[in-house]
Structure 1
Amino acid sequence: MSELHLNSLKSLIVFKTLFESGTATRAARELGITQSGVSRSLAQLEENIGMALFMRHKNRLIALPEAEELYQEIMELMGNLDEMKHTIVALREFGASRMRLVSAPALGFAYIPQVIASILRINPKYSIYFDIMPSPDVVRAVESGHFDAGFVTLPVTSERLIIEELFTVEAVCMIPANHPLAAADHIEITDLKNQHLVIPNQPNLAADQVLRLISQNKIRISGKTEANIAAICSLVANGVGISLINPITAYDTVAVQRGIVIKPFRPAFHYSFGLIYKRSWSDTQLIKLLKENLPKTPDCLER
Structure 2
Amino acid sequence: MVDVTIHSLKALAVFKTLFEAGSASQAARMLGMTQSGVSRSLAQLEENLGLCLFHREKNRLIATPEAGELYDEVLRLMGNIEELRHSVLALKEFGVSRLRIAAVPGLSFGFVPRLVASLLREQPRLSVSLDMMASHEVQTAVESSHADIGFVTLPVAAHAIRIDPWFETEAVCLLPTSHSLARLPSIDVGDLRDQHLVVSNQPSVRANPLLELVAHHGVPIAAKTEANIGTIVSLVANGVGITVMNRITAEDQLPSGCRVAVRPFTPAMGFSFGLAYRDNWRQGRALTFIREQGRRLSRDYCQSDQPH
TM-score norm. by structure 2 comes to: 0.92
Letter of the aligned partner of 1:278 in structure 2? R
Establish whether residue 85 from structure 1 lines up as the match of residue 100 from structure 2: no
C-alpha distance in 1 between matches for 2:193 and 2:77? 66
**Which residue does the alignment assign to 1:241?**
241
C-alpha distance in 1 between matches for 2:62 and 2:122? 47
User: In 1, are the aligned partners of 2:202 and 2:208 still within 8 Å (CA)?
Assistant: no
C-alpha distance in 2 between matches for 1:250 and 1:291? 22
C-alpha distance in 1 between matches for 2:213 and 2:126? 46
Establish whether residue 6 from structure 1 lines up as the match of residue 7 from structure 2: no
SS of residue in 1 equivalent to 2:138: helix
**Which residue does the alignment assign to 1:191?**
191
Judged with a 3 Å threshold, the aligned counterparts in structure 2 of structure 1 residues 298 and 136 are, in CA distance, closer, same or farther, namely farther
SS of residue in 1 equivalent to 2:291: helix
Letter of the aligned partner of 1:168 in structure 2? E
C-alpha distance in 2 between matches for 1:283 and 1:204? 38
Judged with a 3 Å threshold, the aligned counterparts in structure 2 of structure 1 residues 207 and 182 are, in CA distance, closer, same or farther, namely farther
Judged with a 3 Å threshold, the aligned counterparts in structure 2 of structure 1 residues 67 and 58 are, in CA distance, closer, same or farther, namely same
User: In 1, are the aligned partners of 2:143 and 2:160 still within 8 Å (CA)?
Assistant: yes
**Which residue does the alignment assign to 2:57?**
57
User: In 2, are the aligned partners of 1:237 and 1:257 still within 8 Å (CA)?
Assistant: no
User: In 2, are the aligned partners of 1:152 and 1:274 still within 8 Å (CA)?
Assistant: yes
User: In 1, are the aligned partners of 2:206 and 2:212 still within 8 Å (CA)?
Assistant: no
Letter of the aligned partner of 2:14 in structure 1? V
Letter of the aligned partner of 1:6 in structure 2? V
**Which residue does the alignment assign to 2:223?**
223
SS of residue in 2 equivalent to 1:102: strand
Letter of the aligned partner of 1:5 in structure 2? D
User: In 1, are the aligned partners of 2:103 and 2:133 still within 8 Å (CA)?
Assistant: yes
C-alpha distance in 1 between matches for 2:163 and 2:136? 13
Q: How does 1:67-82 map to 2 (within 5 A)?
A: 67-82=67-82
Structure 1 stretches of 5 or more lacking a match?
A: none
**Which residue does the alignment assign to 1:47?**
47
User: In 2, are the aligned partners of 1:153 and 1:274 still within 8 Å (CA)?
Assistant: yes
**Which residue does the alignment assign to 1:15?**
15
**Which residue does the alignment assign to 2:260?**
260
C-alpha distance in 1 between matches for 2:72 and 2:144? 38
* CA drift at 1:155: 0.5
SS of residue in 1 equivalent to 2:51: coil
**Which residue does the alignment assign to 1:300?**
301
SS of residue in 1 equivalent to 2:168: strand
* CA drift at 1:73: 0.9
* CA drift at 1:113: 1.3
* CA drift at 1:47: 1.6
User: In 2, are the aligned partners of 1:207 and 1:244 still within 8 Å (CA)?
Assistant: no
User: In 1, are the aligned partners of 2:167 and 2:295 still within 8 Å (CA)?
Assistant: no
Letter of the aligned partner of 2:173 in structure 1? C
* CA drift at 1:48: 1.6
C-alpha distance in 1 between matches for 2:257 and 2:299? 19
Q: How does 1:275-286 map to 2 (within 5 A)?
A: 275-286=275-286
User: In 2, are the aligned partners of 1:171 and 1:206 still within 8 Å (CA)?
Assistant: no
C-alpha distance in 1 between matches for 2:177 and 2:73? 58
* CA drift at 1:205: 10
Letter of the aligned partner of 2:3 in structure 1? H
Letter of the aligned partner of 1:113 in structure 2? P
C-alpha distance in 2 between matches for 1:112 and 1:238? 27
TM-score norm. by structure 1 comes to: 0.94
Letter of the aligned partner of 1:279 in structure 2? D
CA-to-aligned-CA distance 1:139-167 (integer Å, 9 cap, x gap): 11111111111111111110122222122
Structure 2 stretches of 5 or more lacking a match?
A: none
C-alpha distance in 1 between matches for 2:34 and 2:55? 21
* CA drift at 1:207: 6.7
